[in-house]
């Protein structure tokens, strides 16, 4: 059987594909969160897209959905062991972004002006 992925980065992108998934993981690395908390933390994400990404991450075994079976509904999301290991490798990317925020902002602004 031929390998599905040609490099490890393809495997990562298969799980993290989508604009919001890395941010969701970043915020869940600090502990379990409710959907409303994630909606406030992951700015500019629509509720539909957030729910879709949460569902996909849960289906992929990256996060766990915990339903407390209460009225009103109380649902939280937390990282699985696999998700924690993935969140750990996102930390250096976050540090790089922090170090180069000004440069990246200039790149994005230049791109927006050209569009």
Q: Is the Cβ–Cβ distance between 63 and 57 less than 8 Å?
A: yes
Above 70 in pLDDT, residue 74? yes
Whether residue 72 is preceded by a cis peptide bond, meaning omega within 30 degrees of 0, is yes
Domain boundaries, the chain: 8-114
Mean per-residue pLDDT of the chain: 93
pTM: predicted TM-score of the whole model, two decimal places:
0.87
Domain 8-114, what architecture? Orthogonal Bundle (1.10)
Owner of token pair 């690395």: 29
**pLDDT at 1 exceeding the cut of 80:** no
């Amino acid at each position: 059987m031929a390998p599905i992925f040609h490099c490890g980065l393809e495997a990562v992108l298969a799980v993290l594909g989508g604009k919001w998934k890395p941010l969701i993981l970043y915020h869940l690395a600090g502990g379990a969160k409710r959907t409303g908390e994630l909606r406030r933390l992951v700015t500019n994400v629509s509720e539909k897209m957030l729910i879709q990404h949460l569902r996909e991450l849960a289906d992929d075994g990256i996060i766990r959905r915990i339903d407390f079976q209460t009225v009103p509904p109380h649902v939280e999301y937390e990282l699985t062991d696999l998700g924690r290991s993935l969140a750990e490798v996102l930390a250096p990317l976050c540090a790089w972004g922090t170090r180069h925020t000004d440069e990246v902002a200039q790149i994005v602004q230049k791109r927006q002006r050209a569009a």
